[in-house]
Structure 1
Amino acid sequence: MRRADRLFRIVQALRGGRLRTARQLAEALEVSERTIYRDIVDLQASGVPVEGASGYGYVMADGYEMPPLMFSRDEVVALVAGARLIRAFGGLAMAQAAEEALVKIAAVLPEAERHRADAVKIHALTTEPLSDETRALIDRLEAATDARNRMELAYRDAEGAETLRIVRPLGLGFWGKVWTLLAWCEMREDFRMFRLDRIARATPQGTFRPDPSISLAAYLDRERRRRAPPEP
């Protein structure tokens, strides 16, 4: 967890006059109590009205509001452009979430920043929009990846022949026109890429345990080593 996210969550935990000990905060955020003590000191130094002491607990005065979000021009462009790309090429739930995220961000931006967001000239244009079926499949596979659900795929090859594969989904990739699923294929006992436009059905088959050797990081590491130039 990023430090900025952790500080935000500490402030949220202390809202409304709720007393929290350093141990409770540390357990909730999965960090050490020493880290919580340092974070509390930093919050107090930045003007956040946190009161309390080690061994007693901490509380924050009612009525404190976080300052408005401030983004640079490049950050605003990146957020708007990314949301527009997801709206055009992402899953149905992804597109809706991107739209709602922009509404929430605009609600807390100063007026000048809101105008800057509206003026971004980057748009996602396509003459071949994704079908609703493909968008729904993107959402389903993203959720399966997050939940570590094995999936049975009815998969068509380039000639249209269909096979059944049991896979462990590890990540999704977008290649400009085609979405692919990176997965561990239990039949091949190896990493495989599956084009989403060739998946006829995707059915959950129960969860799998995480394995560092069968992961997105392991695949990327293998590809880096495979493509590295030979040592002299």
Structure 2
Amino acid sequence: MRRADRLFQIIHALRGRRTALPARRLADMLEVSLRTVYRDVADLQRSGVPIEGEAGVGYVLRKGADVPPLMFRPEELEALVVGARFARAFAGVRLAAGAATAMRKIEAVLPEALRARAEHTRIFAPVFEDRHQRDFAQVIDRLHAAIDARQALRLCYCNLAEQPSTRVVEPLCLAFWGGKWTLGAWCRMRGDFRNFRLDRISVIDDAGENFEDDPARGLRAYLTAVSRRPHAPG
């Protein structure tokens, strides 16, 4: 379990309790050591979460406290809601589902005033359930999975001059430019980093291999390169 998730679970376990929750029970619930629980609770207390108690006794949230688990300000919460809506509209099925689940978890423990703010955010990203959008969402998911797995891909690509070519690439990241998506990758044919517009990719095939995490052609090197020439075409 990630540390951020663990801190969330500690606060969630303490909310609404009238009696102290022993550290041992928290440790068993989270499947971590007592030492880890003590350290996490101390970090939460230092960050302003009103947890009372001590090692050997147990912990409770201070009476009357109604604290969102991550201490969101209204504008921070609104940013999360807008981000979740954009993920649902533009970022593929996988991330859309993740964004929806995350928002349900956050909203479940929000105070009423902040929950109402989240529900009435007036920035939208409409989703049109047509075949083109479904197909494009699958492309995003396919490329996202290949990036995670360091899976080399074979692309059929047509550049801005309408010249078709077949490229074997090492996919590194996806970028949304407010209208177009691009795939950032190491192109083996060019021997350099390239950006490929997704709407100009006609075929995506598995190249049959996984590539190594080479710093010379990895994500950090790509970001450095595109900061110097951000519109390097495929």
Task: State the TM-score, normalizing by the size of structure 1.
Answer: 0.71
| Equivalent position amino acid for 1:76 in 2 | L
Give the Å deviation of 1:134.
1.3
Q: How does 1:169-208 map to 2 (within 5 A)?
A: 169-204=171-206, 205-208=208-211
> Could you tell me whether the CA contact under 8 Å between 2:51 and 2:60 is conserved in 1?
no
CA distances 1:140-185 after superposition (whole Å, capped 9, x unpaired): 1111112211111121234554322110011101111111000000
Specify the alignment match of 1:28 in structure 2: none
Letter in 1 for 2:125: A
Unaligned 5+ segments in structure 2 are 14-25, 62-66
CA contact (8 A) 2:152 2:209 kept: yes
Question: Structure 1, residues 4-23: CA drift from partner, whole Å, max 9, x if none?
Answer: 6286289698243967376x
Give yes or no for contact 2:193–2:225 (8 Å, CA) kept in 1.
no
Q: Give unpaired runs (5+ residues) of structure 1.
A: 26-35, 53-59, 228-232
Q: Which moved more, 1:4-13 or 1:182-191?
A: 4-13
Change over 3 Å in CA distance of 1:206–1:63 after alignment to 2: farther
Distance apart, 1:220 and its partner CA = 2.2
Pair 1:189–1:43, CA change in 2 (3 A): same
Identity of counterpart residues, as a percentage? Answer: 41
On the 8 A contact 1:44/1:50 being kept in 2, the answer is no
Asked if structure 1 preserves the Cα contact closer than 8 Å seen for 2:155 and 2:202, the reply is yes
Match for 1:134: what amino acid?
F
Matches within 5 A, 1:1-232: 5=4, 8=7, 14-16=27-29, 20=33, 42=43, 47=51, 51=55, 68-69=68-69, 70-125=71-126, 131-158=133-160, 160-204=162-206, 205-225=208-228
Change (3 A) 1:224 1:176: closer
Give how far 1:68 is off.
3.9
Quickly say closer, same or farther: Cα 1:111–1:44, change in 2 above 3 A: closer
For the residue of structure 2 that corresponds to 1:88, the secondary structure is helix
In the alignment, is the contact (CA less than 8 A) between 1:157 and 1:198 conserved in 2? Answer: yes
Looking at structure 2, the residues matched to 197 and 39 of structure 1 have their Cα atoms a distance apart, in angstroms, of 46
Distance 1:17 1:103 in 2: 21
The whole-number CA distance in structure 1 between the counterparts of 2:126 and 2:39 is 48
Q: Give, in whole Å, the separation in 1 of the partners of 2:94 and 2:116.
A: 27
Number of aligned residues: 205
Q: Matched residue of 1:109: which SS?
A: coil
Instruction: Give 1:223 shift.
Output: 3.7
Q: Secondary structure at the match of 1:169?
A: strand
Residue equivalent to 1:57? none
